[in-house]
Structure 1
Amino acid sequence: MPPPVQDGPSRPGALTHPWHPIPGGITAPSGFRAAAVTAGLKASGKPDLSLLVAPEGAVCAGSFTTSLLRAACVDLCAERLRASGGHARAVLTNSGQANACTGERGLADSLGATAALAQRLGLAAEQVLICSTGVIGVPIPIDTLLAGLDPLVAALSPEGGGAAAQAILTTDLVDKQIALEANLDGRTVRIGGMAKGSGMIHPDMATMLGYLSCDAGVPAEVWSAMVRRAVDCSFNAITVDGDTSTNDTFLAFAAGEPLSPELFDALEAGLTAVSQHLAKAIARDGEGATCLLEVRVEGAADDAGARTIARTICGSSLVKCAVHGRDPNWGRIAAAAGRAGVPFNPAGLALWLGGHQLMAAGQPLPFDRAAASTYLQSDTVIIRLVVGRGPGAGLAWGCDLSDQYIRINADYTT
């Protein structure tokens, strides 16, 4: 379970809003249903087709890959949300085939799958979205998918969140799900989420695949702005291997009794907490990873610059290898900060590895190298940099880089 929500995504401090973890995942919020089946899309025989259905009147905000090479399902989701003004009722996810780089068939299969599902749900096709994950260049076995729709719809349940979280996985070692609850002005509000991702992680939008549900009613334009800000300090602040996917998609649904505008900040705190929990879970489950790497940067001119420095450090192969080797080679950290493209005065740089201060005022400090090496054996390794006296602060998350990452990806399709 995640820690309690703090007073800002990049500034740890006192609690501001009473969000607490609860069971239930994506279907913990009232009115949401989910399901999963083993349709036969993956040779492993594991669940591979999932469905999330939101209550009537739901708004939906999406964030998508910025890659020029986008799967047809990404464009379809983005276009339907634009055309509807941010409204959708369901999302279907197939695991095993990315359905990217599949030409005209890719769009035809996405359209056919959503139309067939919409008919079974009694919805307009435009209210149904689709996400695909798996091997690029491989189309969906569409007849197999269509055959799985009837049992999938029949399995829809308010308790289906756990099964759905399992069915969206590919190389993930663990599922990634969370639910939080808060009492906001005498009313119980819940936010749930699930995500998948382990490799090809360096999002320039959101995440590999991620979904969020909320049982509070929020105007579409307000919800969209909340989601955009939450994405910037969560999914856009993680990296595993520097590769952005063709299918990166994050979809956030909200439906329920309207929430008073004075509670929007409290709701956004919960939204950010769920998003950051899922983002960190993806980074920790990076292919071959043995630890989570958290980089905290303070003193930048603004938060965006601080996050850029932090993410550059998390993405450095040299830093990642040093962490994996338990080598406190702090020069690699400083060098990565210097090439991030964010101005700062090197003479003011201060650096910590856990509780070990390695630099002050731009100069190296003596430190216990053996103790610092031992610290690098922790499940979570925290690097902190102060780059100046500005108000900007930011967080980024990554993981170490092991030989297992190469083994996983060297024969991914063979």
Structure 2
Amino acid sequence: MGEHFTIVPEGSITTPQGFRAGGLHCGLKKIERNDLGAIVCDVPASAAGVYTLNAFQAAPLRITQESVALSAGKLQAVLVNSGNANACTGDQGEADAIAMRDEFADALGIDRMLVGVASTGVIGELLPMEKVRAGIAGMPATLKADGGEDFCQAILTTDLVQKMTCVQLKVGDAVVHIAGAAKGSGMIHPNMATMLGFMTTDAWIEPAQLHQLLREATDTSFNMVTVDGDTSTNDMVVVLASGLAAGGSEPLTPAHPDWDAFVAGFRFVAEYLAKAIACDGEGATKLIEVSVQNADNIDAARAIAKTIVGSSLVKSACFGADANWGRIIAATGRAGVPVNVNTVDVRLGDISVLEQSRPVKFDEELALAYLKGDQVNIYVNLNMGSASATAWGCDLTYDYVRINAAYRT
């Protein structure tokens, strides 16, 4: 429970008022599991998105950005497929993404520019559009108010678990919900890592304000996750706000008395999804959380936290339960930002291993027992300023290599 919001235990992406979701198997995956899913709102919703920084941006992302721009920041539906990324597929891939958007809009009877599309899976293969078209035709019948789990299953690739959460809070006299669902397991690295994220809310918030909020929340959540140092061609987070629980005549802005409460709930959902992705990293056995404290500025804190959590040597040490703090300090020093090499403290959980950049005697057996747990917290205190940042990742295991050595097969 947060100070301003409560978690809805059985909540999903459809808990906010006005949303339905669904999923089905149309044959994009060999296994009989949903591979086409959709989220649909009863009304055109305020929409915002953030997208991969990979230069080879997949066709669906470009089409979704076009839809949001041409509809004045509104979307009413998002269609997502797994099993095929529709990336590096040239003009045909772009045409296929447009066809997905247009044909789903026609099936719903809404304006084509109110539909966004997303894809995830193998890069460089054309979509089997006859299968996709059959799935689109059947999708409206699957949409339901409790379709969140069907949607979550449809967006998985190498993920082992579904990732979703929901919170509620009071905005004025209304009870407002914020929900999220995501996929991501491998090819995960800061700055929109290999992932798809979807958030919904029934709050009334205008597109420009929603976009700013999403960008700020992304910087402290999705952009602070790394599994393997690879940034995907298809990463995207989209948020839709129906406004159907407004309970008053004022949209949410920083001037609203309940703005801080809404921001807290929004950031919680984004951070929850980001951590769930890190926990489900390919082959992972434990979550790694790196907290950098008392940095000179926020950019430095983030850079160091991401460098440590992304270090293959740090990740391997965590897998092997080796309290090798030298790998942590080495990553700190190569993060590309100034540090005072005489003032750094390092802890593994509650175990101090470095103080003022000097080794501290510690109980190796106690450290071994701690590192064998399912979460490792690494604290790095730079003692330089007042800025802090946290990043999340996972250990590097034999199974990561096995999974990715046979990804296409």
* TM-score by shorter chain over 0.5: yes
Match of 1:304 among 295, 299, 302: 299
1:413 aligns with 2:400: no
1:254-333 → structure 2 map (5 Å cutoff): 254-256=241-243, 257=246, 258-260=250-252, 261-333=256-328
Match of 1:117 among 77, 90, 104: 104
1:80 aligns with 2:75: no
Match of 2:195 among 208, 218, 223: 208
Q: Which residue of structure 1 lines up, in the alignment, with residue 58 of structure 2?
A: 71
1:346-385 → structure 2 map (5 Å cutoff): 346-385=341-380
Deviation at 1:148, TM superposition (A): 1.2
In structure 2, distance between residues paired with 1:57 and 1:170: 29
Alignment RMSD: 1.2
Deviations 1:190-227 (A, max 9, x none): 01110001000014236610100000010111111110
Q: Which residue of structure 1 lines up, in the alignment, with residue 36 of structure 2?
A: 49
1:194 aligns with 2:176: no
Deviation at 1:345, TM superposition (A): 0.8
1:96 aligns with 2:83: yes
Whether contact under 8 Å (2:193, 2:225) holds in the other structure is no
1:358 is paired with a residue whose SS is strand
In structure 1, distance between residues paired with 2:136 and 2:33: 16
> What stretches of structure 1 of length at least 5 have no aligned partner?
6-14
Q: Which residue of structure 1 lines up, in the alignment, with residue 115 of structure 2?
A: 128
Whether contact under 8 Å (1:240, 1:315) holds in the other structure is yes
Q: Which residue of structure 1 lines up, in the alignment, with residue 164 of structure 2?
A: 177
In structure 1, distance between residues paired with 2:94 and 2:37: 19
Could you tell me the TM-score, scaled by structure 2's length? Answer: 0.96
Whether contact under 8 Å (1:24, 1:162) holds in the other structure is no
1:27 is paired with a residue whose SS is coil
Deviation at 1:153, TM superposition (A): 0.6
Whether contact under 8 Å (2:185, 2:194) holds in the other structure is no
Deviation at 1:139, TM superposition (A): 1.4
Q: Which residue of structure 2 lines up, in the alignment, with residue 236 of structure 1?
A: 223
1:314 is paired with a residue whose SS is helix
Whether contact under 8 Å (1:178, 1:192) holds in the other structure is yes
In structure 1, distance between residues paired with 2:44 and 2:88: 34
1:33 aligns with 2:28: no
Deviation at 1:150, TM superposition (A): 2.6
In structure 2, distance between residues paired with 1:50 and 1:393: 38
2:306 is paired with a residue whose SS is helix
1:333-348 → structure 2 map (5 Å cutoff): 333-348=328-343
In structure 2, distance between residues paired with 1:105 and 1:389: 53
Q: Which residue of structure 2 lines up, in the alignment, with residue 12 of structure 1?
A: none
In structure 1, distance between residues paired with 2:168 and 2:352: 38
In structure 2, distance between residues paired with 1:116 and 1:184: 37
2:126 is paired with a residue whose SS is coil
Deviations 1:120-170 (A, max 9, x none): 111111111110011001111111111112321111111111110111001
Deviations 1:256-288 (A, max 9, x none): 125442222211111110010000000010000
* Alpha-carbon distance change, 74 to 175 in structure 1, aligned in 2, over 3 angstroms: same
Amino acid at match of 2:122: V
Whether contact under 8 Å (2:340, 2:384) holds in the other structure is no
In structure 2, distance between residues paired with 1:380 and 1:259: 40
1:74 is paired with a residue whose SS is helix
In structure 1, distance between residues paired with 2:299 and 2:193: 15
1:177 is paired with a residue whose SS is strand
Whether contact under 8 Å (2:190, 2:306) holds in the other structure is no
What number of residue pairs does the alignment pair up? 401
> What stretches of structure 2 of length at least 5 have no aligned partner?
none
Structure 1 segments of 4 or more deviating over 4 A?
A: none
Deviation at 1:340, TM superposition (A): 0.8
Deviation at 1:51, TM superposition (A): 0.5
Q: Which residue of structure 2 lines up, in the alignment, with residue 8 of structure 1?
A: none
In structure 2, distance between residues paired with 1:317 and 1:207: 18
